[in-house]
Amino acid sequence: MSGKHAAEEGKEANLQDALRVVRGAPTADELATVIAVLAAVHAEEEASATGFERKLKSSWSSNAAVMRPAIVPGPGQWRGAYRSGLN
């Protein structure tokens, strides 16, 4: 008995079947790093596959309508930006 949960042992067996070293002789630390990265990517993909999406903000709460337009630099722009009839 290895002291690990049966589900963990099953995952490790599946992982060993799924990974194959094609070239070179990686150390145990290098293999552990690759496995950790792949497990993190897999967990991230599973989390995004759950269908959780951010709710879009309602346009009713947007303050864009009360904001003034940007002032364009140039001759007479500061004066003309607030004159009626020039907008």
The tally of domains found in the chain comes to: 1
CA dihedral 58, 63, 64, 66 (to 10 degrees): 140
Provide the pLDDT for residue 20. 83
Q: What is the mean pLDDT of the chain?
A: 73
More confident: 17 or 51: 17
Which structural domain range is residue 23 located in?
6-48
Whether residue 20 lies inside any domain: the answer is yes
Residue 75 belongs to a domain: no
pTM metric for this prediction? 0.40
Give domain status of residue 71, yes or no: no
Most confident of 7-11, 15-19, 35-39, 82-86: 35-39
In a domain, 70, yes or no: no
Q: Using CA atoms, how far apart are residues 5 and 73, in angstroms rounded to an integer?
A: 69
Residue 27: inside a domain: yes
Q: Report the Cα–Cα distance between both ends of the chain, in Å, rounded.
A: 81
Higher-confidence residue of 37 and 55: namely 37
Q: Is position 37 within any domain?
A: yes
- State the Cα–Cα distance between residues 51 and 83, nearest whole angstrom: 51
**Alpha-carbon span 45 to 51, nearest angstrom:** 11
